[in-house]
Structure 1
């Protein structure tokens, strides 16, 4: 019985991996490789919808990237149907901050780089905290109300307004 249970577990694991690989895996995408554990990057959170890991060039003491587990293009490729996904990305980001004892959610920054100002085309939410401890370059790079960085709330508003005019 123990051998068959092990074989069943292995089959389930293979099936889960194949779902990710066959549905929404972009083989040249660095974030897809990270989510599929092809890179030596620690996943802080990973489920069927959302994954999270640390940014390799942190702009704040806590800088996480929250990504869809399956490949989704950049902000410009999103539609109203993606609003729940973006909202869940924000929730995972908040959970990561809480797990790391960041409780002042007024001193955080949640946002996306607006194309063409994103280096990876896999949708990714930057979660930075405390924002008050960001250096000069990070304050510029993740600047609010700029044409290269959009907050999660602004993106959700934009997506919702697209559906109203369609």
Structure 2
């Protein structure tokens, strides 16, 4: 856990969140500033700053996250119409919280390019 990381504080229960799923390794919760009718954040419980810190010894978390995503899509009934999964890596990539996370957006038509 990183003491100054908002997502680590959510994991620790120090900051409330609307949680949709959690297990020993990952946490899924609603974004507080949603950009679509459904906007979930999927994060590892272990603090990993961003994709640049993925190594062989922690790569299994990516598999676990991406195995959970289709289950969430079915749960929220967006699997047929479609959804977007986004990761921002680093400042120039738009990352604002430096704890690895994936945005899952759905429930409306999403334009391209995103920004």
Q: 2:29 aligns with which of 39, 50, 53?
A: 53
| Higher RCO, 1 vs 2 (CA within 8 Å, ≥6 residues apart) | 2
Partner Cα separation in structure 2 for residue 55 and residue 127 of structure 1:
9
Partner Cα separation in structure 2 for residue 122 and residue 80 of structure 1:
18
- The structure whose residues are more often helix, as a share, is 1
Matching residue of 1:86? 62
5+ long unaligned stretches in structure 2: none
Matching residue of 1:32? 8
Matching residue of 1:114? 89
State the 4+ residue runs in structure 1 displaced beyond 6 angstroms: none
Instruction: Report 1:132-147 matches (<5 A).
Output: 132=109, 134=110, 139-140=114-115
| Structure 1 counterpart SS, 2:35 | coil
- The structure whose residues are more often strand, as a share, is 2
Aligned residue pairs total 113
**Which sits farther off after the overlay, 57-66 or 72-81?**
72-81
Q: Is the 8 A contact 1:52 1:64 kept in 2?
A: yes
Partner Cα separation in structure 2 for residue 114 and residue 131 of structure 1:
25
Matching residue of 1:125? 102
Please identify the structure whose Cα radius of gyration is greater. 1
* CA-based RMSD: 2.1
Structure 1 residue 123: Cα displacement: 0.3
**Which sits farther off after the overlay, 40-49 or 90-99?**
90-99
In the superposition, the TM-score normalised over structure 1's length comes to 0.61
In the superposition, the TM-score normalised over structure 2's length comes to 0.84
